Amino acid sequence: MRTFFVTDPGRIARKDGGVAYISKDGEVKYLTNDYDVIVVASSKVSITSAAMRLLARYGIDLVVLEWNGEPVIRASSPIPNKTAMTRLKQYEVILKGKALDYAKPIIMRKIIEQGRTLRYIAKSKRINWLRDQSYQLEKLAQDASSAQDPDSLRSVEALAAKLYWGLLSEVFEDFPGRIQESQDPYNMAINYAYGILYSNTAKALTVVGLDIYADFFHTPKSGKSSLVYDFSEQFKPLVDQALFSKLNFERLQAVNGALTYDSRKEVAKVVTEALEECISNLLLVEAWNLTSYLKEERVYVPGWKRCM
């Protein structure tokens, strides 16, 4: 999926029969139907209703991010593009109490990928102890596979997260560990990057006909696209790898507890490159894979292969 990011002030409007982003300086960028998602990451961008109608006809989603990267608005075409069978099977799994069969494989894969990300960093920085410590996550992935209820699975996930982020904080001395509400450059960048991942995940799940509000693992909240959070968990370590290997955190700046426009652009550039390199394709392929398991009423097995 191709994503166009708007991080600078400007407007999105119809122009010459199409849709264009016009920057504050008058630069024009045409948004053709080659794009799948338009992500607005600035509070100083306006959009006309005519442009929104045309984006819907093109099948292009419009996503607006909060200052911390959390998607707060998502607009897409109301025209269904898949049969109702996919969603019926999704609801059936949840109502029959089989959601754990789909949640466990996702968390297992997430923990496995966390270990792989640590080994990637260990290899690039030649840190043998980090490589050795990373294999503890393999054991935790096995523990996740034997979880008998959601609470047990959450406990294993939390242990894995504590180990994973703790090891990263030992390698990157200025990183205080994963604290979602923290206003340090590391955590703000991670939050923002995950927001971009959520936008692309929602698009992939919607394309294959799934209900992004019907989840397997996260606690349902009104208006929250819980399945997006569930499904994206297994891909977060790939985003982490891109950030910790390519982003210069020392260059990031914040004002009033939020990353500046230039800093958001830096984060978006790194994440976009990772998405275009392989993650976007993995999201869509794996979303189709999930629907296949739902329709066939089989225990879910993530089939994607790491590409970074």
| Binding-site annotation, residues | 157, 218, 233
* Collapsed DSSP state (helix, strand, coil) of residue 259: strand
Task: In whole angstroms, give the CA distance from residue 267 to residue 196.
Answer: 10
Nearest-10 crossing angle of helices 236-246, 185-207: 140
Rounded Cα distance between 72 and 66, Å, is 6
- Count of alpha carbons within 13 angstroms of residue 3, beta-carbon side: 31
CB–CB of 122/93 below 8 Å? no
Can you tell me the distance from the alpha carbon of 88 to that of 291, in angstroms, rounded to the nearest whole number?
11
235 class by beta-carbon count within 10 Å (0-12 exposed, 13-18 middle, 19+ buried): buried
Distance between CA atoms of residues 298 and 294, nearest Å: 7
Question: Strand pairing partners for 18?
Answer: 15
Annotated binding residues for Mn(2+): 157, 218, 233
